Amino acid sequence: MIEKANIVVIGTGGTIAGQGKAASNTSAYMCSVLGIDDILTTIPHASLPVNLRAEQLLQTGSENFTNEHLLAIGKRVSTLLAQDDIDGVVIAHGTDTIEETAYFLHLTLKSRKPVVVVGSMRPPSAMSSDAPLNLYDAIAVAAHPSSIGMGTLVVANDEIHTARDVVKSNSFKIEAFRSPYGPLGYVIDGRPRYYRHPARAHTLATPWSAGTLGSLPAVDIVYAYGALEPATVNAIAARAQGLIFAGTGNGSVAAHLIEPLRNAVRRGVHVVRASRTGNGIVVQNGAQPDEAYSWLAVDDQVPSKARILLMLALTQSRDLQVLQTVFERY
Ligand code: GLU
């Protein structure tokens, strides 16, 4: 007899918990109204080798998630993973910021047990909703031994993505999730098939633990455009301990913004040069003399996730070389 995996499914809201007035409402609907127990009734989980337990942790759109929400999810998942009778965790989540929560968990959970974050682009009430299949696949991935040690995964649209790479890259399509180097694998007929492993360090190989983290430092993102004023940069930098500068192209910085960013550094703010393109590498000392300015270069991470990484890095060190290494290691 096949041993059944014990999987906990956590509800947090989002479209996967949404409901529209009519089946034709694929875009106009109420988010975060269905409880996780109701969502689970939409899938044929009896056909999966799992014992399911559901719990409702939050009930809100993921655009509302603050650092405190991240910590609350991280601490709850850490507690669950520490229990011998739990084999994996699935988190049903809004898709807007799924990449931030998943990356935070990927870097802070101290376990090899599978953790899968899942959302949907259409509510369960819509025609051709992706909610039931995405949730079914997420549970199948969390329950499968091949997912052990992969870190946190995001499952959507038949694909299994590593939390490190995945970003939401479309506002309405089912094909909303993209990893720049491709997904790790696919789910077909309730069975994951992996073709690669995450190359960068995660979970047990990081110095951060969601279970013990207190608070997270304020790190903000500045989105660059030609008419961006120094006053705007100064105002954002005034409250931050770290700043992700989402520059144009390969992390370019307009001439009139160099001094405001250097002044931020002089006041103790850690500035990371990133790119607003959503793809590609920002090379240290490439478009700007980062070391001379005491700036950091993001490597290939998108601004939303660079913010997560810098927050975590700043809980451990303020040393520029150490911080630069973090961007090249995780
Ligand atoms: N904005 C909502 C959220 O991120 C709904 C989007 C979705 O889940 O697809 O929770």
Q: What is the pLDDT along the chain (330 residues), one digit of tens a residue?
A: 558 999 999 999 999 999 999 999 999 999 999 999 999 999 998 899 999 999 999 999 999 999 999 999 999 999 999 999 999 999 999 999 999 999 999 999 999 999 999 999 999 999 999 999 999 999 999 999 999 999 999 999 999 999 999 999 999 999 999 999 999 999 999 999 999 999 999 999 999 999 999 999 999 999 999 999 999 999 999 999 999 999 999 999 999 999 999 999 999 999 999 999 999 999 999 999 999 999 999 999 999 999 999 999 999 999 999 999 999 999
pLDDT in tens, 127-147: 999 999 999 999 999 999 999
Distance 291 CA to ligand 1 centre (A): 39
Q: pTM surpassing 0.85?
A: yes
Residue 176 CA to residue 206 CA, distance in Å, equals: 29
Is 244 in contact with 218 (CB distance < 8 Å)? no
In the chain, what are the domains?
5-205 (3.40.50.1170), 219-329 (3.40.50.40)
Give the nearest ligand 1 atom to 120 CA.
Answer: 9
Candidate from 15, 16, 66, 154 with most ligand 1 atoms within 8 A of CB, to mutate: 15
pLDDT in tens, 244-299: 999 999 999 999 999 999 999 999 999 999 999 999 999 999 999 999 999 999 99
- Measured from CB, residues less than 6 Å from any atom of ligand 1 are 13-15, 31, 61-63, 94-96, 119, 121
**What is the phi/psi pair of residue 243, to 5°?**
-135, 125
Pairing of strands 159-162, 185-188: antiparallel
Q: Which residue has the tokens 């490439």?
A: 286
Q: 104 to each of 140, 153, 289, 312, how far by Cα in Å?
A: 22, 11, 30, 9
15 Cα nearest atom in ligand 1: 8
Active site residues: 15
99-120 per-position pLDDT tens digit: 999 999 999 999 999 999 999 9
For ligand 1, the distance from its centroid to the CA atom of residue 242, given in whole angstroms, is 27
Give residue 2's pLDDT. Answer: 59
Q: Which residue has the tokens 């809980």?
A: 315
Report CA(162)–ligand 1 centroid distance (Å). 20
